[in-house]
Amino acid sequence: MGIDPNYRTNRPVVKQENGVKVYGPIDPPKILGIHGTIVGVDFDLCIADGSCITACPVDVFHWTDTPGHPASEKKADPVNEQACIFCMACVNVCPVAAIDVKPP
């Protein structure tokens, strides 16, 4: 299915974490929401294969620990989303379509 491309308007911002907005709902450790506005990562879909981290030429993503999450216990967090150059490499390599990129 993949990330909801309309999450920015369909979901409330419930907090900020690592400098990025988190869109709910959240109920840790099993429901973690979508992290990021320019570069959004659905933490509930992310399986932490690392392809986005490898593909990104400007280091948008960093690993963050998510102990107890059923899909993976770490996630690619878009902590440097402001650096995004909109090349879409991360979107194209994500095996579970957990990433959405939209210019501000």
Residue numbering of the annotated binding site for Zn(2+)? 35, 77
What is the H or E stretch that residue 81 is in?
Answer: none
| DSSP codes, 32-98 | --EE-SSEEEETTT-----HHHHH-TT---EEEE-TT-SS-SEEEE-TTGGG-----HHHHH-TT--
Which residues are annotated as part of the binding site for [3Fe-4S] cluster? 46, 52, 94
Which residues are annotated as part of the binding site for [4Fe-4S] cluster? 56, 84, 87, 90
Written as six digits, the tokens of 90 are: 């991360």
Which residues are annotated as part of the binding site? 35, 46, 52, 56, 77, 84, 87, 90, 94
